Chains A and B, each alone.
Chain A
Amino acid sequence: MGFDRVAGASAEVGVLFMAMTLLSGSLWGRITWGTFWVWDPRLTTTAFLFVTYLGYLAVRGLGGTAEQRARRSSVIALLAVLEIPLVHFSVVLWRSLHQRATVLSPDGDIKMDGLMLFTLLFGVFGFTVLFAWLVSHRQRIIAMQDAQQINALDAAVTERLKEVQA
């Protein structure tokens, strides 16, 4: 169940990071493109990924035992993870308003000013560390919620047995 908890915690934090990306990205788009939103391939695939992971979290919240939750949500997770390369390659596969890949471009050339690249990589490092910290704590919270649910069920079963025996 450990991997399922890490997957659930990663999805929780990832969904929030994606929401921040979509919100702050739309503000950047208003300055750069003159509009908050366009149905551009990169934006659309990112929004689709966001909605898919919201669905993943909704499936996790359906109830049942931890084993049932893990089996059910892993099916959604296996489908959702296929969308990640689609988001990355969306600017290569289709003509788009969004700029093409600037760091991980197919020709291997980084098309970015040095100071801007440093700022980007510094941000990537900072957010990766933050993500790891949040996931490590959120998966402990899921573990405690699971333990709480099992204890509550055990207590309810014991009480019911006492009622039957009385």
Chain B
Amino acid sequence: MSHAGFIIATYGITFGVIIGLVVYTIKQGRNLSRTVADKDKPWT
């Protein structure tokens, strides 16, 4: 168990960064979509 700290840190970095990026992307997308007209969002 002497390596538990390294393993936990690795999982922490990986999931922390992924969750952070997903939340940031969703928030940024929602904020931008309020300011941009529908004609500039052909995927909607």
Residues of chain A touching chain B, judged by Cβ–Cβ distance below 8 Å, are 13, 16, 19-20, 23-24, 27-28, 30-31, 130, 134, 137-138, 140-141, 143-145, 147-148, 151
Q: Tell me the interface secondary structure of chain B in the complex.
A: helix
Bound together, the chains give a CA A89 to CA B25 distance in angstroms of 34
Q: Check if B10 sits within 8 Å of A27, measured CB to CB.
A: yes
Bound together, the chains give a CA A130 to CA B25 distance in angstroms of 13
Q: Check if A140 sits within 8 Å of B36, measured CB to CB.
A: no
Contacts of B41 on A, CB cut-off 8 Å? 140, 143-144
Q: Check if B29 sits within 8 Å of A137, measured CB to CB.
A: yes
Known: A138-B25, A141-B25, A144-B33. A130 touches B18 (CB 8 A): yes
Q: Check if B21 sits within 8 Å of A143, measured CB to CB.
A: no
Known: A16-B21, A137-B29. A143 touches B40 (CB 8 A): yes
Bound together, the chains give a CA A84 to CA B18 distance in angstroms of 23
Interface size class of B (residues with CB under 8 A): 20 to 34
Residues of chain B touching chain A, judged by Cβ–Cβ distance below 8 Å, are 3, 6, 9-10, 13-14, 17-18, 21-22, 25-26, 28-29, 32-33, 35-37, 40-41, 43
Known: A16-B17, A137-B25, A144-B40. A27 touches B6 (CB 8 A): yes
Bound together, the chains give a CA A138 to CA B24 distance in angstroms of 10
Bound together, the chains give a CA A28 to CA B21 distance in angstroms of 23
Residue among B17, B28, B29, B33 making CB contact with A20, cutoff 8 Å:
B17
